[in-house]
Structure 1
Amino acid sequence: MKEPIILASGSLRRQEYFRLLSLPFNIMPPQIDENADGTLGPRECAEDFAIRKVNKIISLLQNRIPPWICGADTIISVDDAVFGKPQDRSDAYRMLTKLRGRSHEVITAVALFNGKEKTIDCRSVKSVVTFMPLSEDEIEWYLNTGEWQGSAGAYKIQGLAGCFVSEIQGSYSAIVGLPMHEFYVMLKDNGYPYEE
Structure 2
Amino acid sequence: MEIGTKPNRVSWKYKFGSMIITGLLYSAILFAFDYFSNDKLYSTYSLIFQGVFFGIATGLGFPLITEKFGGKFTSKLGGNVTPVLSDTEEIEISGPANLFRGIEATGGKLFLTNKNVIFKSHTMNIQKGQTNIQYDNIKEILLRKTAKLIDNGIRITTKDGKNFDFVVNEREQWMQNLSKRIKTDL
Q: TM-score, structure 1 length as denominator?
A: 0.23
Higher Cα radius of gyration: 2
Q: Relative CO higher for 1 or 2, CA cutoff 8 Å, sep ≥ 6?
A: 1
